[in-house]
Structure 1
Amino acid sequence: MAKRASRKKTKAAGLRARVTGGLRRAVRLMLRAGLVLVALLVLWVASYRWIDPPTTPYIWSESARLGGVERVWVDIDTMAEVLPRAAVAAEDANFCLHWGFDVDAIREAIEAGANRGASTISQQVVKNAFLWQGRSWPRKALEAGLTPLMELFWPKRRILEVYLNIAEFDEGVFGVEMAARNYFGRGASAVTARQAGLLATVLPNPKERDAAAPTSFLSRRANSVADGAATIRADGRAACFED
């Protein structure tokens, strides 16, 4: 009986050892896989400093839904200078002053409740270039982690260049070049300050707003954006993305 009990204990101990060893190997494999995924993600984000994004998850999904989209990449050097300024004035006036998150805007948004957002241009680039649409917590967590990473690798001018080339300006229309052609019959290099302001006003709701036939509200907003673009140029808040 004693020998039988001893053999059972030995077998049980061996089984526990095998299970423990298997769990440890599984954990090590998971950790290695996680590190590989993190490294690939970092490489992906870093590579877009020099490589123009060929598409984005949202552009791809819209292209599949609509049977194609309109998009032509244009370097920021060839855009009308007022275009980047108008986008910053409309969407993120403190773009040059933060590292990806505008703490003051976040605080104001919290105080105002759910009626306003606080996403910076940097956060919007991360969401549009690397992630999926929606408001899920996993996406928000990835956005929070990737935004400072992108700010570490990319200069502000590059962030703004990518933003203006992947932002949606109308259903199936992405980037300022095709937006300017569709709305005004001219390229992004030839838009006026007024037209730049109108393009910037459609960014929060591109499927519902029309830069070529603005409502009175959008027209007033465009004038305000044009004034804001001049203001950030004068006070130095455009210095980080202008030569």
Structure 2
Amino acid sequence: MKFIKRFFRFVFKTLFWLFVFSIVIVVVFKWVPVPITPLMVIKNIEQTDESKKGWEHDWVAIEDISKNLQLAVICSEDQNFLKHHGFDVKAIEKAYENNKKGKRLKGASSISQQTAKNIFLWPQRSYLRKGLETYFTFLIELIWSKERIMEVYLNSIEMGPGIYGAEAASQYWFKKSAASLTKYQASAIAAILPSPMRYKANPATSYIEGRKTWIVKQMNYFGPLNYQTRDDKDE
């Protein structure tokens, strides 16, 4: 009996301190740049070609990332980003119905969910990871602003072979800073995000050119990007 009590006490303490640590790390990353992500490490370990080991990742402030790129990823990945609280319920329902009909599996992860997964978790799918992703999505939506979520997202996602974040991607694909991306250059980067190892932002295939055109149209429909409107409503 003593052993069982000790075991459960140990489990309880472990879960408690993991809970505390999760909150602390989310609070820290509200202001501190994220230096490395699990995906960077995992991809680097899996890389068999020693000459291609490592990654490019240059953190820049949101002010140094073109509004064109910020808007392009919203229009491409999550058009309700400024409206929802981490989960796009309509998109999830649509994906569920689509998958239930036996069509190709389609996800509905919001930018907030992708950020939570990229920063705190591993890429492989499982019920445990999905549950933790939901938890961390709730935390960052509660503690961070939408603008901070976007800043972390654009500084951490994979945007090419060994290329992570907007600045590294801008330099790699267009030999320029993230601050000076045009609409079409930003839409090209956004267009490859579903599969950055498969597609190229430059030179673009006919498929990516079509995606670029669609994204730019969506950007024009969306109008000016204003984070303050959403964040002020939440206060």
State the TM-score, normalized to the length of structure 1.
Answer: 0.86
Q: Contact (CA 8 Å) 1:86, 1:196: kept in 2 or not?
A: yes
Say if 1:72 and 1:98 are closer, same or farther in 2 by CA, change over 3 A: same
Q: Contact (CA 8 Å) 1:100, 1:120: kept in 2 or not?
A: yes
Larger Rg: 1
Q: Provide the residue aligned with 1:45 in structure 2.
A: 26
Q: Provide the residue aligned with 1:209 in structure 2.
A: 199
Letter in 2 for 1:176: A
Report the Cα distance in structure 2 between the residues aligned to 1:133 and 1:79, rounded to whole angstroms: 25
Report the Cα distance in structure 2 between the residues aligned to 1:69 and 1:145, rounded to whole angstroms: 28
- Residue 114 of structure 2, aligned match among 118, 124, 131: 124
Q: Provide the residue aligned with 2:155 in structure 1.
A: 165
SS in 2 for 1:212: coil
Report the Cα distance in structure 2 between the residues aligned to 1:24 and 1:168, rounded to whole angstroms: 45
Report the Cα distance in structure 2 between the residues aligned to 1:37 and 1:179, rounded to whole angstroms: 34
Q: Contact (CA 8 Å) 1:196, 1:226: kept in 2 or not?
A: no
Q: Provide the residue aligned with 2:35 in structure 1.
A: 54
Q: Provide the residue aligned with 2:81 in structure 1.
A: 95
Residues matched between the structures, number: 221
Q: How far is 1:211 from its partner?
A: 0.6
Q: How far is 1:44 from its partner?
A: 1.1
- Residue 72 of structure 2, aligned match among 86, 89, 92: 86
Gaps of 5+ in 2: none
Say if 1:123 and 1:241 are closer, same or farther in 2 by CA, change over 3 A: farther
Q: How far is 1:219 from its partner?
A: 0.4
1:67-121 per-residue CA deviation (whole Å, 9 max, x = no partner) reads 2101111111012211100011100000001011000000000111153210000
User: Where do 4+ consecutive residues of structure 1 move more than 4 Å?
Assistant: none
1:71 matched to 2:57: yes
Letter in 2 for 1:45: V
- Residue 133 of structure 2, aligned match among 121, 143, 167: 143
Q: CA RMSD in A?
A: 1.6
Report the Cα distance in structure 2 between the residues aligned to 1:141 and 1:148, rounded to whole angstroms: 11
Q: Contact (CA 8 Å) 1:85, 1:233: kept in 2 or not?
A: no
Report the Cα distance in structure 2 between the residues aligned to 1:94 and 1:240, rounded to whole angstroms: 12
Report the Cα distance in structure 1 between the residues aligned to 2:65 and 2:139, rounded to whole angstroms: 27
Q: Contact (CA 8 Å) 1:89, 1:229: kept in 2 or not?
A: yes
Report the Cα distance in structure 2 between the residues aligned to 1:217 and 1:27, rounded to whole angstroms: 55
Q: How far is 1:241 from its partner?
A: 6.2
Gaps of 5+ in 1: 1-18
Report the Cα distance in structure 2 between the residues aligned to 1:241 and 1:128, rounded to whole angstroms: 25
1:147-179 per-residue CA deviation (whole Å, 9 max, x = no partner) reads 111100100000001111111111101111111
Percent same amino acid among aligned pairs? Answer: 35
Q: Provide the residue aligned with 1:227 in structure 2.
A: 217
Report the Cα distance in structure 2 between the residues aligned to 1:214 and 1:79, rounded to whole angstroms: 22
Farther-moved stretch of structure 1 (66-75 vs 192-201): 66-75
Say if 1:178 and 1:241 are closer, same or farther in 2 by CA, change over 3 A: farther
Report the Cα distance in structure 1 between the residues aligned to 2:18 and 2:57, rounded to whole angstroms: 30
Q: Provide the residue aligned with 1:197 in structure 2.
A: 187
Letter in 1 for 2:115: V
Letter in 2 for 1:60: V
